């Protein structure tokens, strides 16, 4: 059964600390295996990628068939349900509009010393997006990763995804077309990450790799970081719902199970100020589980990792939420905006009783790629800035150098960096300083 806690109990502090410290990820040491794959792809390029695809995905490829053709990508929409395609296009439009507002502005100004200072934002030249799965691929993730990249101005966007036995979900390819993806490859696993990071004769390397994956993909992303940039290390999905007794318990139960059905390691937490309401939510969860197709996964997630926490007042939930730092936070309360002001750490906040987390997964607008496992304490969800970098601009001129050069010279001399000092002094006509 899910863990039940009351903030009024004497042992609550320790029990709550244990809850948020609990690791939900399966312990698997794949780093050595992945390192060997990375080294092999780096050394043998296309042939290594082809060999691993045959071994793991039972798919025979050649350099010429690594990529989907333009016709494959552009023609995928015709194989998809019209209603779903309309929803995809609507979601893409909303995601694009939301992220366009994130675009940063350049600036250049002259300070009181007459020195020109500023910054300029530019996009990375190329990015790779890993899409997990085969026929069960989460095509929504293509939109959520690719569109912010294109809004940022990435010139070349590459998608790679496993296609076991050649099976592909046409919705994933259709999403690639909608998002403006430039290249799509039939490759998954650590070998796909290596292909993107190091490049091969057929596939040019990228500058940054984003997107979720299994333990092998995650390890590969960690190991290639530095050669390329990466977005984040994503853990199991999670939601915390803060709700008072005025919300329909069936709604809250459905929201908790929406995360639980992702994976048995997902986590769903309810915080409420009403014990009787909590009991009704638990009862509603049991009812929903009887009809959910993914009930086995959802039930295991809820029973192993779920929690119900009863607090004295709804306002007390804020301190607990900030310690959890959840990926998704729902505030199903009378005044969600007021409570949200007390929340410092959360990947995304869903305000009000009529804002289920699932709309954020698909059509609200913000990217659903969010920090997990408490990482919201120090990081943000994926956005336009993840595909951009800032360059500083400095323009001294003669007067400006005369104003700040002596200070720089003194600091260089104090650090005993003589060439640093010389490069300033020689311009100040002060070689002997």
Model pLDDT for residues 366-391, shown as the tens digit of each residue: 999 999 999 999 999 999 999 999 99
Q: Is 130 in contact with 161 (CB distance < 8 Å)?
A: yes
Closest CA to 265 of 206, 214, 203, 192: 214
Confidence of residue 29 (pLDDT cuts 50, 70, 90): confident
Q: What percent of the chain has pLDDT over 90?
A: 93
What's the whole-number mean pLDDT along residues 272-279?
Answer: 98
How many CA atoms does the CB half-sphere of 112 hold within 13 Å?
0
Distant-in-sequence, close-in-space partners of 81: CB < 8 Å, separation ≥ 6: none
226: pLDDT strictly greater than 70: yes
pLDDT, position 429 = 78
Long-range contacts of range 67-73, CB-CB < 8 Å, 24 or more positions apart?
Answer: 67/183, 67/184, 67/185, 67/186, 67/202, 67/203, 68/168, 68/173, 68/184, 68/185, 68/186, 72/173, 72/184, 73/173, 73/176, 73/177, 73/181, 73/184
Confidence of residue 430 (pLDDT cuts 50, 70, 90): low
Q: Delineate the domains of the chain, giving CATH numbers in brackets.
A: 31-109+122-230 (3.40.50.1980), 235-378 (3.40.50.1980), 396-425 (no CATH)
Percentages (nearest 5) of helix, strand, coil residues in the chain? 50, 15, 35
Q: d(Cα 132, Cα 57) in Å, to the nearest integer? A: 13
Helical ranges in 113-262 per DSSP H: 139-152, 170-179, 189-198, 215-224, 249-260
What is the 8-class DSSP label of residue 363? T
Residue 152: CB atoms within 10 A of its CB come to 23
pLDDT, position 432 = 40
2: pLDDT strictly greater than 60: yes
pLDDT, position 431 = 40
User: Residue written as tokens 């004295």?
Assistant: 312
User: In degrees rounded to 5, what are phi and psi of residue 228?
Assistant: -135, 165
From residue 100, give the alpha-carbon distance in Å to each of 47, 151, 260, 364, 367: 40, 6, 32, 14, 12
Confidence of residue 234 (pLDDT cuts 50, 70, 90): confident
Q: Could you read off the pLDDT of 3-28 as tens digits, one per residue?
A: 999 999 999 999 999 999 987 766 66
Q: Could you read off the pLDDT of 94-135 as tens digits, one per residue?
A: 999 999 999 999 999 999 999 999 999 999 999 999 998 755
Confidence of residue 350 (pLDDT cuts 50, 70, 90): very high
From residue 271, give the alpha-carbon distance in Å to each of 35, 77, 289, 314: 42, 42, 20, 8
Closest CA to 135 of 111, 156, 98, 162: 162
Cβ-count burial 376-401 (b if 16+ within 10 Å, e if not)? beeeebbbbbbbbeeeeeeebeeebb
What is the 8-class DSSP label of residue 68? P
What is the 8-class DSSP label of residue 69? P
What's the whole-number mean pLDDT along residues 267-271?
Answer: 97
Q: Could you read off the pLDDT of 172-206 as tens digits, one per residue?
A: 999 999 999 999 999 999 999 999 999 999 999 99
pLDDT, position 24 = 73
pLDDT, position 27 = 63
Q: d(Cα 242, Cα 275) in Å, to the nearest integer? A: 13
- Secondary structure (H, E, C), 323-358: HHCCCEEEEECCCHHHHHCCCCCCCEEEECCCCCHH
Catalytic residues: 327-328
What's the whole-number mean pLDDT along residues 137-155?
Answer: 95
- Mean pLDDT value across the chain: 95
Q: d(Cα 21, Cα 40) in Å, to the nearest integer? A: 37
Helical ranges in 231-307 per DSSP H: 249-260, 275-289, 295-305
What's the whole-number mean pLDDT along residues 294-298?
Answer: 95
Q: Could you read off the pLDDT of 50-89 as tens digits, one per residue?
A: 999 999 999 999 999 999 999 999 999 999 999 999 999 9
3-class secondary structure, 247: coil
Residue 75 token pair: 């023609």
Q: Is 82 in contact with 363 (CB distance < 8 Å)?
A: no
Q: d(Cα 369, Cα 381) in Å, to the nearest integer? A: 6
Q: Is 236 in contact with 324 (CB distance < 8 Å)?
A: no
């Amino acid at each position: 059964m899910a863990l039940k806690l009351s903030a009024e109990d004497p042992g609550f502090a320790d029990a709550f600390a244990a809850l948020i410290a609990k690791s939900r990820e399966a312990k698997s040491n794949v780093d050595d295996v992945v390192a060997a794959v990375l080294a092999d792809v780096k050394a043998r390029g296309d042939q290594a990628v082809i060999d691993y695809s045959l071994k793991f995905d039972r798919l025979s490829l050649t350099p010429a068939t690594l990529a989907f053709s333009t016709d494959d990508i552009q023609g995928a929409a015709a194989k998809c349900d019209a209603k779903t395609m309309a929803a995809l296009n609507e979601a893409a439009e909303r995601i694009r509009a939301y992220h366009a507002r994130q675009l940063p502005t350049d600036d250049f100004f002259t300070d009181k010393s007459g020195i020109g200072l500023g910054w300029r934002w530019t996009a990375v030249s190329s990015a790779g997006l890993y899409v997990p799965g085969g026929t069960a691929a989460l095509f929504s993730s293509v939109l959520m990763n690719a569109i912010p990249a294109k809004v940022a101005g990435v010139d070349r966007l590459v998608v790679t995804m496993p296609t076991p036995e050649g099976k592909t979900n046409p919705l994933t390819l259709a999403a690639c077309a909608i998002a403006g993806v430039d290249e799509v490859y039939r490759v998954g696993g650590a070998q796909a990450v290596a292909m993107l990071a190091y490049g091969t004769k057929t596939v040019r390397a990228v500058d940054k790799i984003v997107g979720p994956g299994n333990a092998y993909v995650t390890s590969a992303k960690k190991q290639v970081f530095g050669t390329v940039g990466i977005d984040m290390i994503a853990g199991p999905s999670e939601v915390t719902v803060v709700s008072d007794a005025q919300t329909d318990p069936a709604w809250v139960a459905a929201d908790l199970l929406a995360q639980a059905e992702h994976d048995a390691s997902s986590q769903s937490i309810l915080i409420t100020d009403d014990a009787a309401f909590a009991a009704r939510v638990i009862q509603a969860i049991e009812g929903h589980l009887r009809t959910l197709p993914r009930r086995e996964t959802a039930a295991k997630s809820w029973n192993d990792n779920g929690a119900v926490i009863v607090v004295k007042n709804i306002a007390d939930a804020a301190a607990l939420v900030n310690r959890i730092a959840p990926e998704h936070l729902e505030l199903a309360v009378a005044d969600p905006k007021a409570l949200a002001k007390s929340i410092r750490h959360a990947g995304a906040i869903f305000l009000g009783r009529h804002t289920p987390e699932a709309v954020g997964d698909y059509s609200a607008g913000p990217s659903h790629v969010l920090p997990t496992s408490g990482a919201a304490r120090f990081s943000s969800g994926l956005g336009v800035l993840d595909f951009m970098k800032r360059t500083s601009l400095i323009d001294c001129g003669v007067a400006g150098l005369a104003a700040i050069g002596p200070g720089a010279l003194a600091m260089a001399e104090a650090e005993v960096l003589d060439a640093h000092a010389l490069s300033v002094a020689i311009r100040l006509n002060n070689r002997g300083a």
